[in-house]
Amino acid sequence: MVESRRFPNGMPVHSHPELLPIPWTVMDPHEPQAMANHSQTLLRLAERGGLDPAEAVAVLEDRRYHHMGRLAAIERLADIIREATEKRDARNNA
C-alpha cells in the first residue's frame, strides 16, 4: 500500500479541491495501470498534484485514458469509490 505522510488520506483529485482524496485502499490495486497510463507510481502522481477525475477513472477501470466530460467523470469516480468501499465493508463484516 502506498504510504505517505504527505498524503495520508489518499490520492488528491487534481483541479478539484472540493473533492475528497481517493482512498489508497481503492487506488493501490491499480498501480500497474497508473504506471501504464502515466509512467509514474501512485505516490509520484500524488506528489505532482494527483489525477484529474477522468484520469483517475481510467486508472481505476484498468484502461487507457480517454476524454470524459467533467461531470460524467466525477460521477463515475464517486460510483467506483462507493462500490469499492461497500465491498471492503462487506468483507470486514463477514
Domain extent for 84: 24-93
Residue 33 located in a structural domain: yes
pLDDT category, 14, cuts 50, 70, 90? confident
DSSP bridge pairs for 55: none
In a domain, 70, yes or no: yes
The residue-averaged pLDDT of 66-86 equals 94
What is residue 94's predicted lDDT score, i.e. its pLDDT? 75
**Closest CA relative to residue 55, chosen from 84, 83, 33:** 33
pLDDT at 7: 80
Task: Identify whether 9 is part of a domain.
Answer: no
Q: Mean pLDDT for the chain?
A: 91
Nine-digit cell string for 86: 461497500
- pTM metric for this prediction: 0.89
Per the structure, the count of domains in the chain is 1
Q: In whole angstroms, what is the distance from residue 74 CA to residue 68 CA? A: 9
- Mind listing the pLDDT tens digit for each residue in 23-47? 998 999 999 999 999 999 999 999 9
